[in-house]
Amino acid sequence: MVQSGTGPLVSAVIVFLNEERFIDEAVQSVLAQRYPHWELLLVDDGSTDSSTQAALSYADRFPQQIRYLSHDAGENRGISASRNLGMRQARGVYLSYLDGDDALFPQAFAEQVDALEARPEAAMVYGPIQWWYSWTGDAQDLERDYIEELGVPPEAVIAPPRLLPLFLRDKAAVPSGIMVRRSIAMEVGGFEDGFRGEYEDQVFCAKVALRYPIFAAGRCWYRYRQHPDSMVAIALRSGATDASRRQFLDWLGGYLAAEGHPSRSLQRALRLEHLRFTHPGLFHLMRRWERRVAKFVRRGAS
């Protein structure tokens, strides 16, 4: 185990592309961590604005803890390839991924390390994220922040592959703001370089959830900034979300076949999600029925 001082080293990876408005806040949220044993890898995915100089400046000011990385010739290769570059260069026992326009709460590393150290069987830890509107300071945004529902019992280790069909069918939140054992991330092959869009997180989490237990915590550690120039917002406006979803489902089907995974619940979830594109009317009818059943069950339990 790589150690830094008295605790395991956390390698935080921030991938950024033209994030001059937000990168300072992202880096500052790492500098503010109450857990002191970390390194930060700033991975430049081909920026053409001042965020490159901002990242280089942080690396110059904190050479013992912050490093600047980029692809050959300053290429833009996407978030997945950039996160993999950070993973390969990392020295830590644990990996933490933060987007260049988001931020962490100060207790994130300390509590996530404690969670994984206490649960050696868990490959990864995550918690509910905050949808962050109030960063604008505008009066109409100050009350819009909310913390998403996990969709699974908090403070529980979820055995594989139970979590995967749940987030595949939108019955549980996709793990975000994760901390993962670097050895596990390397073992599953990291992120898929071919994915450039919204689903790179789901691809990686699917690979981990298929094989390893994951700890779902009840604590919020991650602030997910909502703004019109985010990758997700742009994809929704352009209509690219459906194409990305189909790419993800096709990849997952091929991956399960290659792995020879026998889970019936997972195969059923995948078939049902394909209905979104092959038989959309039937898909939405089944979704409404599932919501009614879930609502009835909740009423019965209360």
Q: What is the mean pLDDT of each run of 10 residues along the chain (302 residues)?
A: 68 97 98 98 98 98 98 96 98 97 98 98 98 94 95 97 94 96 98 88 96 98 86 59 89 91 85 85 72 61 56
By the 8 A CB rule, do 52 and 82 touch? no
Helices (H), the chain: 23-31, 51-61, 79-89, 108-118, 163-168, 182-187, 200-211, 231-238, 240-259, 264-278, 280-301
Give the integer Cα–Cα distance in Å for 11 and 89.
9
In this predicted structure, what is the pLDDT of residue 1?
A: 36
Domain ranges of the chain: 3-261, 262-302
Cα separations in angstroms, 175 against 58, 126, 223, 237: 29, 6, 13, 24
CA distances to 3, 23, 181 from 9, rounded to whole Å, are 5, 23, 11
Q: How far is 225 from 130, CA to CA, in rounded Å? A: 8
287-300 burial: b if 16+ Cβ within 10 Å, else e:
eeeeeeeeeeeeee
pLDDT of residue 2: 42
| pLDDT attached to residue 180 | 98
CA distances 29 to 34, 58, 100, 271, 292, Å, are 10, 13, 11, 41, 41
Whole-number pLDDT of residue 114: 98
DSSP string, 8-74: EPEEEEEEESS-TTTHHHHHHHHHT-S---EEEEEEESS--STHHHHHHHHHHH-TTTEEEEE-GGG
What confidence score (pLDDT) does residue 236 get? Answer: 55
CB 14 within 8 A of CB 52: no
Q: φ and ψ at 232, to 5 degrees?
A: -65, -45
Q: Does domain 3-261 have CATH number 3.90.550.10?
A: yes
pLDDT of residue 285: 78
- By residue count, the chain amounts to 302
β-sheet with 38-44: strand ranges across: 66-70, 38-44, 10-16, 94-99, 179-181, 124-126, 214-216, 156-158
HSE on the CB side for 169, CA within 13 Å? 22
